[in-house]
Every structure is written in structure tokens, then in C-alpha cells.
A and B are shown apart, each in its own frame.
Chain A
Amino acid sequence: MTSKNLESRAPVSQRRQVVPVASAGDGIGASVSLTIDGVEAKVPFGTTILEAAKEMNIRIPTLCNHDDLCIAGVCRVCVVEIEGQRTLQASCAYPVTQPVKVSTHTRKVRQARRHILDLMLANHYGECYTCWRNGNCELQSLAGEYGVDGFRFGKMEKPRYAIDQSSYSVVRDMNKCILCRRCVRTCIDLQEVGVLEAVNRGQETKIACFMDKPLGDVVCINCGQCINRCPTSALAASDPTDEIWAAIDDPGKHVVIQTAPSPRAAIGECFNCPPGTPLTFQMNTALRHCGFDRVFDTNFTADLTIIEEGTELLSRLHKALVEKDKAVALPQFTSCSPGWVKYLEHFHPEMIPHLSSAKSPQQMFGAVIKTYYAKLNGLNPADIVSVALMPCSAKKFECNRPEMCDSGFKDVDYGLTTREMAAMIKEAGVDLPNMPKSDFDEPFGTATGSGVIFGATGGVMESALRTVIELVCGIKVEKLFDHADIVPVRGFEGIRYAELPIKDVGPVPPILDKHFKDWKWLKGATLKVAVAHGTANAKRVLDNIKAGGKFSECHFIEFMACPGGCLGGGGQPIPTSPEIRAARAKAIYAEDAAYQVRKSYENPAVAHLYENFLTDGPCGHQSHKLLHTCYTARGKYIL
């Protein structure tokens, strides 16, 4: 029982309740003994039967249960028999408060499980062969595992619902839905957005948005966390692979792909590699094999983002501290996560001025490819098809935002998820893990470790700090933090806070001398920063700022819509869990440590871009045109 659960907005019917310890009998913190299938154990008071069974290495099948979510107890797949009780109990939701004797596979239990799976299959429309979750479906696995041998109660002959393709990011096919309500709990409990809810009763029950509107018309932030937790294919990302294949097949098109750091640390999971297997350079080869003309590293524009966003931050600080401009919005919020951006636009539109105007790395790259890169290579931007491999479903929405056309064209044509990329690689017959390694293409090839760690929560902050410390203080980060690992902003704690005293300042480096004469005004200041991941945590920070709490005194806050940051994005391989995300993070930080250059401003390709293209420097005229954007106050109520 976490305090998070107590604050949950989910109805109590959809979560586990606090078990009052007062009725424990033998006191607070007491343990209770239980027997499962004849094996005895002692567990802390209030432990669920399922948790106890896991400890004891006894497997109980589950479906609506998910490690990231509150407990619903609705699918009933995990029922067990407790001696002396008339009915079976859902082991996920049954807290042990007195000694019980549990059996996990009696006749009644086996019959119930099988019936429950039979009933789900009878109401689940579609064929496994043609399903994108074939081989990665929890319903399919359970049916295989628990003796389903036919459609005992019939099967759906016709679809009942139209597929909702209204959203740029998430496609909902309620014909596949088995009403485990993980998506509902993901949205309201994990993310505290709450666009999904069960409506109607009995067999008419379905998951719907407010007033049964299509997903594209409600306050969905496109984070796609629901997709990652859907046990079947009821939820999917909007898949552009056919269009991308068509572009590859078209000899008149120059198809480039930029790849974000998180997919590399996760795509191996789609090829039976353990989570956290980095396949960066094998993937480069595979992508060329698929037919992409150029393979670029989004980390290049991650470094660019740091320069632009960092310059913007220093300008805001200058305005506030030196010019005493009261209107300047501080703390500055990061803007790389399109789910977070849309969350703010819907739920806290009055705080939009805090958002950095810098585009996300994906969109910066898009604008640079169809301008600078096109010119450099004598290409007509109209013939360039720009694909972005992202761990994210919201990136699909982002690249379709009407303002994202600063190159004169659609800056990024398609956002592609890690899962979709894996499917394309498989379709091309490529054995990804065993591909030879190859590097990214020029002219953006060289990246830094700073760009890589954008994939993990705290990564943008760490990258920004590495650059800001060196540019302002004129010292090496390594003097303050071993190996330039800024550990205070790392980790998976939902909200993190750090202070960084600026004891000494150095000279203003040439790249910033258009904006600042000196750093004297920063000497003795303490830079206050924070990191939040998952919109539920973002909400806590925003509420704190509005209430004038500690976070209102911050200068810079990194927000990521997804738990764990991009590595836990809605486009990443399924399943997801805290352990899987931790393994991906490990791979990302290992990649960072292996880079020679680990600070964004030292990226030679970035310096080259400022020398030859964005000649008026960071936050200059040209960069404002191509690399910065504006936001839309959407509000919560959409009519």
C-alpha cells in the first residue's frame, strides 16, 4: 500500500483498499501465516495472496493485474480457493489478515479460469493470425496455458464496434477489448489524466471517452501508456509503416530516418533479447537494409535542444535577475515530451509561458533536414521523406501539429514507434541482434552522451546542467561530479529536486556572446532544478508551484509524460514494468559513459551548424524560425 494509492483518483472499486492494521489482533507490523498449495509461509499483515504466492514461487495467472497499476480484481482469472470460504477469491485483491489455507488449482479454480477465458474469447473479435499482438498477447498466452480447447461459448462473427482512428497517436479497437480496465487505471491512476472510463452495463459495457466521443476529440495527451499495458490489441499506435514502405519503394523519394536514444535500448526485446540490450549500431545497419537512404541520430538535435533551451533559460534568468522583469516566467519547463506539452495545454494552460519555446529534438531535426540538409545535398525538400523512430506515440501527434511546418514542408512526415520499427525490420527478414555494426550518417553523425541520456527521466536535466555548468562556471563538470555523472537528478523517484550553487563564473563563451556580456550576475546564485516523470507527478509539481511551494522557486524543471521518461514511452516494446524500465535505463547510461564527448556544446556537428547555418547563434533569428515553436491553450473542456 503506497501513499500514491491513497491519493488516487480511481474509484475505490478499481483499487486495493487500506487494510486497517488495528484488526490484526497481534499488533502493528505483525506477520500472518498462510498456506498455499500445502506450502507454509509467513507474510506481512495485509499482503495479498498473489504477492505471497510470488514470494513463494507459486504461479497464479493474472490478467487485469499489472505491476504499475492499482488493483482492480475484475477479470477474476487469478481466483483461488480459500478453505472455509463459500466463494473463490481474487488473489490479487485479497489481503491476508488471518491465517488462511489457499489452493490454486482445485477443480473449482480450474473450471472457473477456463470458463473466464472461454467467456473472454467468446466476446473477443478477430483472428490471432492477423493480429499485431500475435505472440505477444496475454489473452492468447493464457488460453494456451490454461486448457482452452475450443470456443465453448461461441465466438464473435461480426465486429460490434467501429475502430476509433480519430487520434493521430492511439487507435482503439473495442472489438478486441476484454474489459480488464488496465487502460482506465493507467489513464486515471498512473497518469491522472482520466480520459477513459467504463460506460454502459452488462454485456454492453465498453471503455469509452467522455460522452462516447472519439479519442481525437478529448483531452487525451497521447502518451500511449494505455497501449503498453493493454493485454490484447484493443489499443495500438497509429501505424504508418505501409506509407513508409511506399516511400522507400518510390525511387523519387529520399527517405531519411532519425533514431531516438530509447528505442535502441529496447528494440532488442522484440527480438527475444533481455531488456536493456543496446543495439544502436546493429540497428543502423538494419535500417539501411530496410532501405532508408540515411540514418541519423536524434541525439544531434538533443544536443541542439540543450543549447537552445539552455540559452533560453539563461536569458530568462538574466531578465529576472538583472533586468528585474517581473513578467518572466520561471521556472522554465522542458518541452521535449509532446505528451507533457499537451497535458499542460489541456490541464494547466495558464502555465504555458513557462514552457521552453524550443522544439523537441524530433521536430528540430525535421526542420534542419528539410532546410540545411536538403541544401547541403542539393535535394528538393519536397522529395525528402523524414521519418522519426521514437519510443513514443505522442510524437505522431506532434509531427502533425499544424505549426510544425517551419521548413516550408511538413518537418517530420512520420513518427514511427520502436514496435513498428521492429515489425518493419522483421518484415525485411533482418535478424537484428546479429547484424554487423555501423555508424550514423554524416553530416550529423557524431553525437554526445548528453543526447543519449535524454531517453531516461532526468536525462535532459543532466545534459543541460553539464553544458550550463561548463559554459557559465568555466570549469569541468567532472570537478563537481565524478565522470560528469550528475547523480542527484538520476533515478526513478517520481519527483526529484537538486540545488547547484554557482560559486565562480568564467568568461562568456563565443557561442553566447551575442546574448550575454558576463556571468557576474550569476555568481553566488544557487541554481534550483527539479525532475518529474509521469503526468501524475507533474501534476503534484504544478500544484506545488501554484501554491507557492518549493518548486515555485525552481529555475528549471524537466517534465516527462511517461513514467521512467522516454524509455518507458508509449511506443516501446510490450510488456513494461519497473524492472524492464530500469534495465533500459542501465543500457542508456552505459551508452553515455562510453561516449568520448558527453557535453552537448562540445558536439562538433552542432558547432558546425551554428557556424554555417544558424549563423546568428542560439535563440537567434534563424533558430527562432526553425527550432522554436508556440503552444495552444486547449483547456480541459472541449465542446
Chain B
Amino acid sequence: MSALKGPILFGDFMPEAGLARALAMTRGDVISEVRASGLKGRGGAGFLTGMKWNIAAAAQGNRKFVVCNADEGEPGTFKDRVLLASYPDLVFEGMTIAGYAIGAGSGIMYLRGEYGYLLPGLEETLNARRRGRLLGEAVSGKKDFSFDIEIRLGSGAYVCGEETALIESLEGHRGEPRNRPPFPVNTGYLGCPTIVNNVETLALAARVMSEGAEWFKKIGTGKSTGSKLFSVSGDCERPGVYELPMGITIAQLLKEVGGEEAKAVQVGGASGHCVPAAQFSRALAFEDIPTGGSVIVFGKERDMLLAAKNFMEFFAEESCGQCTPCRYGTKVLLEGIEKLESGKCSMTYLKELLALGETMQLASKCGLGQSAPNAFISIAANFKDEVLGRERCFEGRGQ
């Protein structure tokens, strides 16, 4: 793993400076500052964090909640783990700032079940913060602000990274996404206004409050401000977690990690898109290729159909089974890929599979089903020769 170096998160900074500055401001000013920074959610969807906080702050409710989504389950993503292991205080500081901003009294960290080994350390950090009056009654002496954080462990379902399924799981139900609207900012945990933010987002928010929006905006692009953590894996010389400015091109990133020979990069994990070498000049930013941070590098010798199969196996396994397009669609696409693999898939049926992929993108209930076919569709579009070049394909209707 590379040494942790970066402009915003992996640098030297004053601990708790962001919280101190936030508590000296009005709640409204904190939200304005975060809005001004242009910070967008780092889970991948890229919703404006300040706007989310603003809606939750304005929502009616006796109780409000801050939920830190630490259910890092996207294949090829491990940057939150690094943050939680190395900068837990920064994450909790961000949660506390968010709690202050929206008027929440409780924060919940939903920690991926497999990260259970981090739990003792995180609990110790929380206890230290309580001792230091950074949590509990009258945080840092601020009379009208009490806030505490508890940690809950997930149970291994990928779908619980989806915010409404996460809340459903927190409430003790089977982890399945809810109908939206209304969104959690209005009707979330226990029916109360709830913001669900990614680990990295909250850490960045703490840094925004510490250094100011203007400073933050100097890094990144106009539409994608700040830096991004990338979890880089696959066929490259230096896999690891990198903090790089938003807007960096894939080529630049590959150079950084020693993966210039790649023929494709899967951006955004299993639910992301497969980008072929011809498009390596594209930028990793919300306005071009949005990403939660997973970058999987495919070298020259990789079989792209097998890559697609691997991702589809993942979704067929992780679909929560609630809605029809995702539950059965993942299975049909997986079987289709197996047909392609053995050269038994007709062009007509391939077209049917791609159309089914579109249906899944459009009609699934949540982001899991909507993004499940992405990898297959982009691999089929960009690596046609590999997908079709197995054995002879039969023209005509049928399978």
C-alpha cells in the first residue's frame, strides 16, 4: 500500500479544528459553508451534501439522526476502511458537525459486518471523545448542543449500503430498500428526518469546516470540488488507497499507480462502468465518470467476458430479491453471459439481454438493480470481439 499522502484527508491538520469552528457558527452558517464548498456525496451518487443537510435541517421532526454509512461493500472499495482505521476522529468529527448543522441529537455509524475488527478501536475513540467532551451533553461546552454516536454492525448484505435498506436494517427489518420519495432526509430512521452520509463525505465535511469552503474549492474541478479517495486494485504495480484531486483523468491515475498497460478500467466497482483504453483521457468527476472510488485495473491478458461474469455473479448473489427486474434479471443476465462464454448465444438473444439490462436500469426499485447491468452493458459495447468471439454464434431467434 502506498504511504497515505493527499491534499485534504491524508495530510497534516489540526484535530477538531472543524468542529470548533462549526460550533462557533450558527447552524445555518455551517450548512451555508458546506454548500459553498460544493462538496458532493462520496458514496457515488454525488448528491450535494450541503443541500441534503439543508433539507434535513428544515424538515419537521422532534428527533433527527445522522447516519454514517460505513457499510463499504462495493467490490474493489476499501478506502473507508483506511479512513476508519487511520482517521476515525475525523469521521466522528464530521458526524458531530452534521449533527449540529441539522439539529440531530444522535448519530449512528452503520459499520460493515466484516469490519467488526475495527469496532474495539472505534469504540475506544468514541469513549475518548466522550471523555474529552467532544460527545455527550453540551458538546465542547456548547449548551444547546448534545450529541452522541453509537455503532451498529451490518450483517453482510451488500444492499444495506443503499441508504433506505440501511435504515430498514437499523430498524431491525430485513435489509430491503424502501419506496422513495419520501427520502430519508424527511422520513428516515424511525420515521424521523435522517441524513445518511458516506464515511469519506463526513471526513471531508470536517475538513471543509476547518479550512473553509474557498480552500476546499481550489482542489478539484468546478463541478466536482475537493479530492477523492480511490481504492485501486487489479493489474497495476502499486495498488492501494490514493487521495487525488477530483477531475483527474484515468490515464493520470494509471500513471500514478503503475497501470499504464491496462486495456480497461472498471470505475465504480461492480455497479460502475467499464472504461476501455480509448477513453482513458476521461476524467474521474461527477460531470464525466462519477465514482464511489473503486478503480479496478484490467491488464492486457484479462478476459473481459469473465470480468462481466464475475460482476454479474456478485449481483445475482446480492440482489435483495425484492423487485422483479433485479431478482430475476441478474439471473437471466448471468445465464446469458454463460451462454456467450460457451458460444451458444445468438445475436438476437444478446440484443434481448441488452434490452433487459436497460429495463433493469430503468425499472428496478433501487440503485443495486439499476446499476447491476452496467458492467455487462459497457463490456458488451466496448469489447464486442471478446464477448462474441468465443465459438460460432448462431443467428436467429432462441437461445
Chain B, 314-369, CB within 8 A of any chain A CB: 315-325, 327-332, 335, 352, 355-356, 358-359, 361-365
A119 near B318 with CB under 8 A, answer no
Answer yes or no: B165 CB below 8 A from chain A CBs. Answer: yes
Chain A hits for B364, CB < 8 A? 76, 87
Answer yes or no: A152 CB below 8 A from chain B CBs. Answer: yes
B361 near A87 with CB under 8 A, answer yes
Interface residues of B: mostly helix, strand, loop or mixed?
helix
Known: A11-B174, A13-B173. 20 other contacts (CB 8 A): A12-B173, A13-B164, A13-B178, A18-B187, A74-B324, A76-B324, A76-B364, A87-B362, A90-B179, A112-B325, A112-B362, A112-B363, A116-B325, A119-B324, A152-B352, A178-B324, A202-B315, A202-B316, A202-B320, A203-B321
Answer yes or no: A19 CB below 8 A from chain B CBs. Answer: yes
B326 to chain A minimum Cβ distance, whole angstroms, is: 8
Interface string of A7-28 (1 = CB under 8 A from B): 0000111101111101100000
B334 to chain A minimum Cβ distance, whole angstroms, is: 9
Chain A hits for B177, CB < 8 A? 13
- B157, B171, B356, B370: which has the most chain A beta carbons within 10 Å? B356
Interface string of A203-233 (1 = CB under 8 A from B): 1110000000000000000000000000000
B332 near A119 with CB under 8 A, answer yes
Interface CB pairs A-B, < 8 A, 20: A11-B173, A12-B171, A13-B164, A17-B179, A19-B187, A20-B60, A22-B59, A72-B179, A76-B324, A76-B325, A87-B362, A116-B325, A119-B332, A122-B332, A152-B352, A153-B352, A179-B321, A179-B324, A201-B157, A203-B327
Task: Name B355's closest neighbour in chain A (CB-CB).
Answer: A111
B179 near A13 with CB under 8 A, answer yes
Chain B, 149-182, CB within 8 A of any chain A CB: 157, 164-165, 167-168, 171, 173-174, 176-179, 181-182
Answer yes or no: B227 CB below 8 A from chain A CBs. Answer: no
Task: Name A97's closest neighbour in chain B (CB-CB).
Answer: B181
B322 near A13 with CB under 8 A, answer yes
A209 CA / B167 CA spacing, docked (Å)? 24
A18 CA / B359 CA spacing, docked (Å)? 28
A19 CA / B185 CA spacing, docked (Å)? 12
B324 near A17 with CB under 8 A, answer no
Task: Name A178's closest neighbour in chain B (CB-CB).
Answer: B324
B176 near A11 with CB under 8 A, answer yes
Q: A87-B370, A115-B356 are in contact. Are A13 and B361 (CB under 8 A)?
A: no
Q: A90-B365, A93-B179 are in contact. Are A11 and B171 (CB under 8 A)?
A: yes
A203 CA / B330 CA spacing, docked (Å)? 8
A475 to chain B minimum Cβ distance, whole angstroms, is: 53
A122 CA / B332 CA spacing, docked (Å)? 9
B331 near A74 with CB under 8 A, answer no
A204 near B352 with CB under 8 A, answer no
A199 CA / B125 CA spacing, docked (Å)? 37
B136 to chain A minimum Cβ distance, whole angstroms, is: 30
Chain A hits for B167, CB < 8 A? 12
Chain A hits for B258, CB < 8 A? none
B324 near A154 with CB under 8 A, answer no
B324 near A13 with CB under 8 A, answer no
- Out of B164, B171, B329, name the residue touching A119 (CB < 8 Å): B329
A201 CA / B177 CA spacing, docked (Å)? 13
Q: A87-B361, A87-B363, A112-B363 are in contact. Are A20 and B171 (CB under 8 A)?
A: no
Interface string of A103-147 (1 = CB under 8 A from B): 000001001100110011011000000000000000000000000
Answer yes or no: A272 CB below 8 A from chain B CBs. Answer: no
Q: A11-B173, A198-B321 are in contact. Are A17 and B363 (CB under 8 A)?
A: no
B234 to chain A minimum Cβ distance, whole angstroms, is: 26
B319 near A17 with CB under 8 A, answer no
A13 near B176 with CB under 8 A, answer yes
B89 to chain A minimum Cβ distance, whole angstroms, is: 33
Chain A hits for B362, CB < 8 A? 79, 87-88, 108, 112
Chain A, 35-73, CB within 8 A of any chain B CB: 71-73
Q: A73-B365, A74-B322 are in contact. Are A202 and B331 (CB under 8 A)?
A: yes
Chain B, 179-196, CB within 8 A of any chain A CB: 179, 181-182, 186-187, 191
A76 near B365 with CB under 8 A, answer yes
Interface string of A186-208 (1 = CB under 8 A from B): 00000000000110111111000
Answer yes or no: A281 CB below 8 A from chain B CBs. Answer: no
Number of interface residues of A (CB under 8 A): 48
A90 CA / B164 CA spacing, docked (Å)? 16
A22 CA / B187 CA spacing, docked (Å)? 12
Answer yes or no: B86 CB below 8 A from chain A CBs. Answer: no
B370 near A119 with CB under 8 A, answer no
- Out of B174, B178, B317, name the residue touching A198 (CB < 8 Å): B174
A255 CA / B161 CA spacing, docked (Å)? 62
A201 near B363 with CB under 8 A, answer no
Chain B hits for A88, CB < 8 A? 362-363
B187 near A20 with CB under 8 A, answer yes
Task: Name A150's closest neighbour in chain B (CB-CB).
Answer: B397
A100 CA / B370 CA spacing, docked (Å)? 22
A117 to chain B minimum Cβ distance, whole angstroms, is: 9
Chain A hits for B187, CB < 8 A? 17-20
A50 to chain B minimum Cβ distance, whole angstroms, is: 12
Answer yes or no: B399 CB below 8 A from chain A CBs. Answer: yes
Q: A76-B325, A123-B328 are in contact. Are A201 and B317 (CB under 8 A)?
A: yes
- Out of A73, A115, A116, name the residue touching B355 (CB < 8 Å): A115
Chain B, 221-249, CB within 8 A of any chain A CB: none
A11 near B168 with CB under 8 A, answer yes
A384 CA / B186 CA spacing, docked (Å)? 65
Chain A hits for B178, CB < 8 A? 12-13, 17
Q: A74-B324, A76-B364, A88-B363 are in contact. Are A95 and B317 (CB under 8 A)?
A: no
A204 CA / B331 CA spacing, docked (Å)? 10
A205 CA / B355 CA spacing, docked (Å)? 24
Which 8 A-B pairs rank lowest in CB-CB distance, beginning with the nearest? A205-B321, A11-B173, A119-B328, A93-B179, A202-B319, A112-B363, A13-B176, A115-B359
A23 CA / B325 CA spacing, docked (Å)? 31
Answer yes or no: A94 CB below 8 A from chain B CBs. Answer: yes
A182 to chain B minimum Cβ distance, whole angstroms, is: 14
Interface string of A135-178 (1 = CB under 8 A from B): 00000000000000000111000000000000000000000001
A40 CA / B191 CA spacing, docked (Å)? 33
A295 CA / B178 CA spacing, docked (Å)? 52
Chain B hits for A22, CB < 8 A? 59-60
B280 to chain A minimum Cβ distance, whole angstroms, is: 26
- Out of A13, A108, A111, A115, name the residue touching B168 (CB < 8 Å): A13
Answer yes or no: A75 CB below 8 A from chain B CBs. Answer: yes
B365 near A74 with CB under 8 A, answer yes
Task: Name A22's closest neighbour in chain B (CB-CB).
Answer: B60
